[in-house]
Amino acid sequence: MKNVLITGATGGIGTSILKLFYNSNYNICVTGTNMNKLNEIEVNYKGKVKCIACNLNDDSQIEKLVHQSNEYYGSTNILINNAGITRDNLLLRMKDEEWNDVININLNSNFKLTKQILKGMIKSRWGRIINISSDAAKIGNAGQANYVASKSAIEGLTRTLANEVASRGVTVNCVSPGFVDTEILKTVDKKNITRYGRKYSSRKNGKN
């Protein structure tokens, strides 16, 4: 039985990923910052899923997450880097903390968590890492310079790491969803959603 760690599990995409692995009888650890939703997961899955509160903006909490998950099921075989946030603003108005928060959660935490868990995967010569990006990385949505930069970097990180560890039995892939009706989408201005939607449609139809 493989062991799975899912970040951002209290969000819409994270919840769906959790259900998929749960229905396939994997050993699962999930993490998030919303304690109410983590408690709901504990109740709904009746002790079959280990919930670990973790602020991925904090290096010490990332280390604690790895330690607690290892205590629960041993080493992580499958890592799903799903956690992500938005702090939208035009570049000239964007505050340093808006940039830093998004880069830290969406990108830096992936690097730090992956680096720690990858050691065990290489040692066992088997592992699966799945990073969640976004179609926004390909479009360049106005007002989302921080978010787009983080997701674009994730795609580059995925390609590079995949080349580094393929010979060790570890695969690294990236999933890039379009708009999904989740809590994070509610943080985006409705006018921007409409504008982005037109861009996605044009792109799919081969127009610039």
Q: Which CATH superfamily is domain 3-204 in?
A: NAD(P)-binding Rossmann-like Domain (3.40.50.720)
Distance CA 137, CA 147 (A): 8
Span 80-97, average pLDDT: 97
DSSP-assigned letters across all residues of 133-178? --THHHHT-TTBHHHHHHHHHHHHHHHHHHHHHGGGTEEEEEE---
- In sequence order, the 6+-apart residues with CB closer than 8 A to the CB of 98 are 87, 89, 146
> Residue 47: its pLDDT value, please?
79
Distance CA 78, CA 69 (A): 12
Distance CA 53, CA 35 (A): 7
pTM for the whole structure: 0.85
Q: Is 147 a catalytic residue?
A: yes
> Residue 1: its pLDDT value, please?
87
Residue 183 has pLDDT above 90, yes or no: no
Per-residue model confidence as pLDDT tens digits over 99-154: 999 999 999 999 999 999 999 999 999 999 999 999 999 999 899 999 999 999 99
> Residue 177: its pLDDT value, please?
85
Which amino acid makes up residue 177?
Answer: P
Per-residue model confidence as pLDDT tens digits over 49-76: 999 999 999 999 999 999 999 999 999 9
Which of 22, 147, 196, 200 is flagged as catalytic? 147
